Amino acid sequence: MELNTRAVHVANEPLPTGSRPLSVPLVLSSAFAFDSADELADAMAGPDGAYVYGRRGNPTVRALEQTLAELEQGAGAIAFASGMGAISGVLLALLRPGDRVVAQRCLYGGTHAVLGDLAGRYGIEVVRISGDDPAELEAAAVHPATRLLILETIANPTGQVPDLPGLLAAARTLGVTSVVDNSLASPVLCRPLEHGADIVVHSTTKYLSGHSDILGGAAVFADDALRRRVWPRTVELGACADPFAAWLTLRGIPTLPLRMREHCANATVLAERLTAHPAVTAVHHPLLPGHPSYAVAREVLAGGGGLLSFEPAGGREAGRAFVERVRLARLALSLGGVETLVTHPASTSHRELDGAALAAAGIAPGLVRMSVGIEHVEDLWADIEQALG
Ligand code: PLP
């Protein structure tokens, strides 16, 4: 079945009476009682048995995990308390001191931070690559302890789309486990497991839940044995998904394809108009023909996504001024919700990067990031025009 259909018919177990509720039940119990000690002991053996304790599994959370695995075409999933919970959980579960990680240079700031921390405190080496050429991975992987490749489908905030088919095929040949953060594309625009990724991670805080009302994350695995290997470590880490956040995410998923369509359509119109605006010096959106990732974006994405960034003429001060002048769009740090948000990355999400690191990540000092919502595009354009002065 098509993804739109699968998104509506989310996982749903029958009740003991036999009928199925149309909405997945929200189960808040933190622990589950048993009649026999042996049954309780058996239930503790793995991730898929009877529910025991909330950190090890919960019916609402499991329904979300099954739904995400279904949408990403994976063998199974683990839901987390946040996107960073998912990223940290996967890295901590799979890495050992002395390992080498190959990371795309333009990654979410939090991912950069956790990789830096692992490098400084646990002797893990992080090699950065542009993500545009599989030969960079092949060169980095001459080190025998090269364990992980980490990429983002659409990088934040430059809109870079790495060469997923080339890099994921090379990772597979080299025996390097590949992790792709698919938060900005969502499974509607790209399913990295279909291109050969081993693990997809999500901040479900973003498009998947879609309404700026929860924090959540997930890891979806191509191979169930890998999910079973990672699961015990995530139980220890304790960054488990909250059942109510899981329920709200399940509530958002049926409309994900419709929302993505509007996000993509609005962002494309705004990107094109900004390109022609005299007070704008550069616009970054993967489906603008001049974008460096245009060709690969056309190949791997079913739409350009809802994120765009641009540089107002006047550098850092102009960028800061723009985010304070918008009236309909809000100045707020997240993305992927139904409402349009703007930020100035150089002073917020990427403030820990110095000038050289910002330049290396492709972030101009005046860059404005816009998470384009599903409002009417003419209202958004009127707001942008007045804010540009
Ligand atoms: N990955 C990407 C691409 C993000 O943009 C973010 C947050 O903005 C995260 C991961 C972290 O997600 P969370 O805030 O849910 O921990």
108 carries an active-site annotation? yes
- How confident is the model at residue 352, as a pLDDT? 74
- How confident is the model at residue 353, as a pLDDT? 75
Ligand 1: atom nearest CA of 86 is 16
Q: What is the mean pLDDT of residues 363-381?
A: 96
| Residues whose beta carbon lies within 6 Å of some atom of ligand 1 | 82-84, 108, 110, 152, 156, 181, 183-184, 203, 205, 215, 217
Q: What is the mean pLDDT of residues 5-30?
A: 90
CA of 36 to the centre of ligand 1 (A): 42
Ligand 1: atom nearest CA of 205 is 15
- How confident is the model at residue 14, as a pLDDT? 83
Q: What is the mean pLDDT of residues 54-70?
A: 97
Q: Please check whether residue 56 is in contact with residue 47, taking contact to mean a CB–CB distance below 8 angstroms.
A: yes
The best mutation among 82, 108, 371 to test binding of ligand 1, ranked by most ligand atoms within 8 Å of the C-beta, falls on 108
Q: Tokens representing 379? A: 């209202």
Q: In this predicted model, what pLDDT tens digit does every residue of 222-280 receive, in sequence order? A: 999 999 999 999 999 999 999 999 999 999 999 999 999 999 999 999 999 999 999 99
Q: What is the mean pLDDT of residues 103-109?
A: 91
3-state DSSP helix/strand/coil % of the chain, to nearest 5: 40, 15, 40
Question: What is the chain's mean pLDDT, rounded?
Answer: 95
- How confident is the model at residue 18, as a pLDDT? 87
42 carries an active-site annotation? no
Strand order in the sheet with 100-104: 76-80, 217-221, 199-203, 177-181, 146-152, 100-104, 125-129
Helix 243-252 and helix 59-72, axial crossing angle in degrees, nearest 10:
40
Question: Could you tell me the CA-to-CA distances from 325 to 273, 328, 370, 387 in Å, in that order?
Answer: 19, 10, 13, 5
Q: Please check whether residue 185 is in contact with residue 153, taking contact to mean a CB–CB distance below 8 angstroms.
A: yes
* Residue 368 backbone phi and psi in degrees, to 5: -110, 130
The sign of the torsion formed by the CA atoms of 161, 162, 164, 166 equals: positive
Q: What is the mean pLDDT of residues 367-384?
A: 98
**How far from the centroid of its chain's Cα atoms is residue 214's Cα?**
14
State the DSSP string of 35-77: S-HHHHHHHTTSTTSS--BTTT--HHHHHHHHHHHHHHT-SEE
Query: Quick check: 10 pLDDT over 80?
Result: no
- How confident is the model at residue 356, as a pLDDT? 86
Q: In this predicted model, what pLDDT tens digit does every residue of 270-313 receive, in sequence order? A: 999 999 999 999 999 999 999 999 999 999 999 999 999 999 99
Q: What is the mean pLDDT of residues 354-376?
A: 89
Q: What is the mean pLDDT of residues 315-320?
A: 93
Tell me how far apart the alpha carbons of residues 389 and 384 are, in angstroms, rounded to a whole number.
Answer: 9
Q: Please check whether residue 358 is in contact with residue 251, taking contact to mean a CB–CB distance below 8 angstroms.
A: no
State the pTM of this model: 0.96
Q: Please check whether residue 242 is in contact with residue 80, taking contact to mean a CB–CB distance below 8 angstroms.
A: no
- How confident is the model at residue 212, as a pLDDT? 98
Tell me how far apart the alpha carbons of residues 84 and 77 are, in angstroms, rounded to a whole number.
Answer: 16
Tell me the sheet residues that pair with 127: 102
Instruction: Give, using CA atoms, the residue closest to atom 2 of ligand 1.
Output: 108
- How confident is the model at residue 16, as a pLDDT? 85
CA of 113 to the centre of ligand 1 (A): 12
At a CB cut-off of 8 Å and minimum separation 6, what does 306 contact? Answer: 207, 260, 263, 264, 266, 267, 335, 336, 371, 372, 373
CA of 347 to the centre of ligand 1 (A): 17
Q: In this predicted model, what pLDDT tens digit does every residue of 137-163 receive, in sequence order? A: 999 999 999 999 999 999 988 899 999
- How confident is the model at residue 321, as a pLDDT? 96
Strand order in the sheet with 330-331: 280-284, 307-312, 368-371, 341-343, 330-331
Q: What angle do CA 265, 269, 270 make, to 5 degrees?
A: 115
CA of 270 to the centre of ligand 1 (A): 24
- How confident is the model at residue 369, as a pLDDT? 96
At a CB cut-off of 8 Å and minimum separation 6, what does 202 contact? Answer: 68, 83, 86, 181, 182, 183, 208, 217, 218, 219, 220
What confidence category does residue 359 fall into, taking pLDDT thresholds of 50, 70 and 90?
A: confident
Q: What is the mean pLDDT of residues 162-172?
A: 98
Burial of 275 (0-12, 13-18, 19+ CB in 10 A): middle
H or E element that contains 284: strand 280-284
R_g over Cα of the chain: 21
- How confident is the model at residue 157, as a pLDDT? 84
Ligand 1: atom nearest CA of 217 is 15
